[in-house]
Amino acid sequence: MITLKNQRTYARRSGRSAIEDVMAYENIEWDKLGFDYIKTDQRYLSHWRDGEWDQGTLTEDNVLHISEGSTALHYGQQCFEGLKAYRCKDGSINLFRPDQNALRMQRSCARLLMPAPSTEQFIEACKQVVKANERFIPPYGSGGALYLRPFVIGVGDNIGVRTAPEFIFSVFCIPVGPYFKGGMKPNNFVISSYDRAAPQGTGAAKVGGNYAASLMPGSQAKKNNFADCIYLDPQTHTKIEEVGSANFFAITHNDEFVTPKSPSVLPGITRLSLIELAQSRLGLKVIEGDVLIDNLGDFKEAGACGTAAVITPIGGIEYNGKLHVFYSEKEVGPVVSRLYAELTGVQSGDIEAPQGWIVKV
C-alpha cells in the first residue's frame, strides 16, 4: 500500500501524471496523515475585477498564474483562513462555525484594504470544495478532518504601494490527520524576545506578514527542542499574548478559564468556542485579561488552541532559562482534557452543538 508520506516521492519516481497521482490517494492510510500539502481534486477560484467578485468556479488546476506585479508578492496584501470539515457517525459532513471564519476574513480584508467575499459566498465556496473532494474526508473516528484553506490575494499589474487592481479569492483543501498521534501529549514552549505584531499593527488580522515575522523565532524555538515560541505583549514584554500561531489559555487554581485580551492577539475561533464551552458546559468562570509572565504560578493547567491542533496542552514554559511546569510535562490535566473532549465532540457531531455552530455540507 502506498502511504501518504512516501506517495509524492513514489509518484515522482514512477513518472505518473497528475491524474494518476491523484488516483494513488485512494490508498490513503488515514491514521498516518499529518499536516502536509496534498493536491486534492478541486479548488474554488473567484476573481474580483471592476468592483465585484465573479461567479467563482471549481478547477483542477492548483497553480495560480498571476502578474509579477501582484501586491500579494511585494507588499504582503493577502490574508487567509483555516477551518475543518468533519465526517460524522451518520455519514453527514459538518463544517465548524464557517460564518466566524467568513467574518474574520472580512475584518482581515478591511484592514488590508481588500474586498472580501460575503459570508454567503464564503460558506458556499467551502461547501463546494468539500463536496468536490468528498473522497478525501477522513472517516469518522480516524481523528482526521478535511482542512480548508480560504485566502484572498491582491493581484494584477502594479508596482506602487497601493491596493491591487484585482483580487483572487480561493479555497483549497487537504486531508489532515489527528494532530497528536497516539493521544494528546503536553508540549514545552519558550518565551521569545521577538514580537509577532505591533500595537495598532496587524496582529488581530490573519495575514501572511505576521507569519513571515514568526518564521525565524519559531524555527529557533524548534531548534532548541521546544514545540514553538510564545510571544509577549509587544509594548511591555510582561504578558503572554500568543503561542506561535495559536491562542493561549490557562486554568487557575480556582477553576477559572483565563485567556489574554489584547488588540494584537488574533481572535481565534477555537479560543472563542472554548470560552463559550468552558462557561456553558464546564461551569468555569471565564476571564479575558492579562496573563503576566511573572505569575504563571496562578495556573494549574495551560494550553494552546487553534483549528489545526485543536488544543495543545502546555507542559512547561521556559523564560529566562527557567522552565515553569504547569500540570505535568508528561500528562494532560483534567480540565484541558474535558475541554478537548467537549470541543471535539461538538465538532464531530457526537455532542450537541450550541445553536448555529454546525453547518451541514
Ligand X SMILES: *Cc1c(COP(=O)(O)O)cnc(C)c1O
> Active-site residues: which are they?
206
3-state secondary structure of 6: helix
Least separation in angstroms between residue 133's CB and ligand X is: 20
Closest to ligand X by CB, 24 vs 353, is: 353
Distances (CA, A) of 271 to 27, 37, 249, 265: 35, 25, 8, 11
> Shortest gap between Cβ of 323 and ligand X (angstroms)?
23
Instruction: Pick between residue 234 and residue 268 the one whose CB is nearest to ligand X.
Output: 268
If one counts every other C-beta atom within 10 angstroms of the C-beta of residue 330, the result is 9
**Identity of the residue, 138 or 306, whose beta carbon is nearer to ligand X in the bound complex:** 306
Residues 111-130 binding ligand X (CB under 6 A) are: none
| Residue 338 neighbours by CB distance under 10 Å | 15
3-class DSSP assignment, residue 261:
coil
**Which of 166, 195, 241, 242 forms a contact with ligand X (CB under 6 A)?**
242
The β-bridge partners of 39 are none
Q: Would you say 158 or 245 has its CB closer to ligand X?
A: 245
Q: Segment contacting ligand X (CB under 6 A): 107-115, 245-253, 285-293, 324-332? A: 245-253
To ligand X, the closest distance from the beta carbon of 269 in angstroms equals 3
- State the virtual CA torsion across 237, 238, 243, 248 in degrees, nearest 10: -150
Among the listed residues 108, 158, 187, 245, the single contact to ligand X using CB under 6 A: 245
Residue 80 Rama label (left phi>0; alpha psi -120 to 50; beta): beta
Identify each DSSP E strand in 57-183 by its residue range: 57-59, 78-80, 83-87, 93-96, 145-155, 166-176
Q: Return d(Cα 141, Cα 257) in angstroms, integer.
A: 29
Q: DSSP 3-state assignment of 127?
A: helix
Q: Are 177 and 31 in contact (CB under 8 A)?
A: yes
Residue 28 or 230 with smaller CB distance to ligand X:
230
Q: Which of residues 247-306 bind ligand X (CB under 6 A)?
A: 247, 266, 268-271, 306
- Residue 51 beta carbon to ligand X: minimum distance, rounded to whole angstroms: 29
Which position's Cβ is nearest ligand X?
268
- Interface stretch with ligand X, choices 44-52, 86-94, 164-172, 244-252 (CB under 6 A): 244-252
Alpha helices in 155-239 (DSSP H): 208-223
Counting residues that bind ligand X (by CB under 6 A) gives 13
Binder among 152, 206, 284, 311 for ligand X (CB under 6 A): 206
Nearer to ligand X, 44 or 96 (CB): 96
Task: Take residue 129 and report the three cell numbers written for it.
Answer: 470544495
Is residue 82 within the footprint of ligand X (CB under 6 A)?
A: yes
Query: By CB under 6 A, is residue 164 in contact with ligand X?
Result: no
Can you give the binding site for ligand X, defined by CB under 6 A? Answer: 82, 206, 242, 245-247, 266, 268-271, 306-307
